[in-house]
Structure 1
Amino acid sequence: MLKDKNYAIKLCCISATVIAVITTIVLVTLAFTVFKRHDPDLVLYPTGLAKLQLDDFITQDTITSEMVMSIRNRNHGSFKFENTTSHITYDGELVGWVPIMADTIPEDALMNITAYATLRAKKLRENPKAINDIVSGSLNLTATATMRGKMSIMGIKKKGSVYTECHMTMYISEIPIRGDSWCWTKLEI
């Protein structure tokens, strides 16, 4: 009888240990795969630049141009963000803005958001360095934004922010005007 009781206790302890080891392995694997935070990828497509002319920079106080932001969420959770505004600077000086309307980026998905950038052309004309760049045919701008919201992974919601910095070059001496950009993003939860 005592032998059967000891055997049952040993079997129970071994089973509990095996279950604990398997659970630990599963949780560690999930932590390094599914629950690992990935920074989103962002690409800007300045689709409205082709409609602008060099004269617009000289004659207008503000210029509005359409752009498409292509955001790839590589996380296994959606990100619902609030309204935000991206600030456009030239040589450290605020020269424009891009309002970004609240939306949800689904998990592991690519989403395109259309937004409209407003540049203060008058402010650019007041900067001698900007005038030289405009005359030379290219203008380098920086856009920064902080998108605040909630990340939702398997029903668990947690506050988070995505910090974005995009460097853009507008080739305004070319017809049509075109632009290039590269962006850096950081997700913090």
Structure 2
Amino acid sequence: MVEKEQESPLAPHSHRITIANDTATLQSPDDIEKRRLRRRCTKCCGCTSAVIAIVGVILLVLFLTVFKVKDPKINLNYVTIRGLQGVNPLNLVPNTNLTIIADVSVKNPNIASFKFKNATTDIYYENVLIGEAQIPEGNAKAKKTFQMKINIDFMLEKLVGVPRLVEDLTTGSLSLTTKTSIRGRVEIVDIVKKTVGVKMDCSSTVIIADQSVQNQKCTKYVKV
């Protein structure tokens, strides 16, 4: 009687020997180095992109806050008409010596200087131009107020021709309208450059006795 072949039990899983597939190939040192370089490039590109994004956000915030050009503000502080105190309202002749002096200030809220030129101031009485002046160019420093006194050429012949003048001189007050125009440029670190034009129209009452200004109302316009 032939004995049946005794089947040997399978080896435990932990002791099995796995033979690699013939198609599997070992990575060469060059391939490993290329993979390392790719990882480094990916990390480098990611860091660079992050830095650029952060710098872009910082610049955007700066341009919207610190570097943002703010509109300069002009103010008419007072107007003085010298020579009116001793004038006879009934005998105002064209050779009467009168002088108009306007005190104008330019407030610059920017972190850079506001250089202006082509500035003018005109004074109207009853819608008649009675005085005009060319304001010399100037420079309002950063965060400062530039103040100037302007001597205005007085057009006495036009003032005398206003029918209401005698009545106003008798009561001791004149209602005047002042129009000031200033155009200049703000430059911040040679990056931000902006040309700004500011106009201001003011109506006020000048008391002849003490040269005080009352009931002053101003309207300002900004043109870029």
**TM-score (normalised: structure 1):** 0.78
Q: Using the alignment, how far apart are the partners of 2:195 and 2:165 within structure 1? A: 36
Match of 2:151 in 1: 116
Q: Using the alignment, how far apart are the partners of 1:186 and 1:108 within structure 2? A: 20
- The question of 1:107 aligning with 2:139 is answered no
Letter in 1 for 2:197: V
Matches within 5 A, 1:68-147: 68-147=103-182
Q: What is the CA-CA distance between 1:22 and the residue it aligns to?
A: 1.0
Moved more, 154-163 or 113-122: 154-163
Counterparts in 2 of 1:83 and 1:124: CA distance versus 1, 3 Å = same
Greater Cα radius of gyration, structure 1 or 2? 2
Q: Using the alignment, how far apart are the partners of 2:121 and 2:147 within structure 1? A: 16
Counterparts in 2 of 1:51 and 1:8: CA distance versus 1, 3 Å = farther
Letter in 2 for 1:98: A
Counterparts in 2 of 1:44 and 1:54: CA distance versus 1, 3 Å = farther
Unaligned runs of 5+ in 1: none
- The question of 1:59 aligning with 2:88 is answered no
Check the 8 A contact 1:162/1:185 in 2, yes or no. no
Structure number with higher relative contact order (C-alpha < 8 Å, ≥ 6 residues apart): 1
Q: Using the alignment, how far apart are the partners of 1:88 and 1:119 within structure 2? A: 9
Q: Deviations over 1:15-68 (max 9, x none)?
A: 122112212211211111122222222222336447641627762536213332
Matches within 5 A, 1:156-167: 156=191, 158=193, 160-167=195-202
Greater share of residues in strand: 1
Q: Using the alignment, how far apart are the partners of 1:184 and 1:75 within structure 2? A: 21
Counterparts in 2 of 1:107 and 1:124: CA distance versus 1, 3 Å = same
Report the secondary structure of 1:20's partner residue.
helix
Check the 8 A contact 1:160/1:187 in 2, yes or no. no
Match of 2:78 in 1: 46
Check the 8 A contact 1:50/1:178 in 2, yes or no. no
Counterparts in 2 of 1:141 and 1:171: CA distance versus 1, 3 Å = closer
Q: Using the alignment, how far apart are the partners of 1:89 and 1:13 within structure 2? A: 67
* Among candidates 28, 40, 43, match of residue 11 of structure 1: 43
Unaligned runs of 5+ in 2: 1-31
Q: Deviations over 1:57-107 (max 9, x none)?
A: 762536213332222101122122225331222343322113311111112
Match of 2:54 in 1: 22
Which aligned segments of 4 or more residues in structure 1 are displaced greater than 6 angstroms?
none
**Percent of aligned pairs sharing the same letter:** 24
Q: What is the CA-CA distance between 1:10 and the residue it aligns to?
A: 2.4
Tell me how many residue pairs correspond in the alignment: 188
Greater share of residues in helix: 1
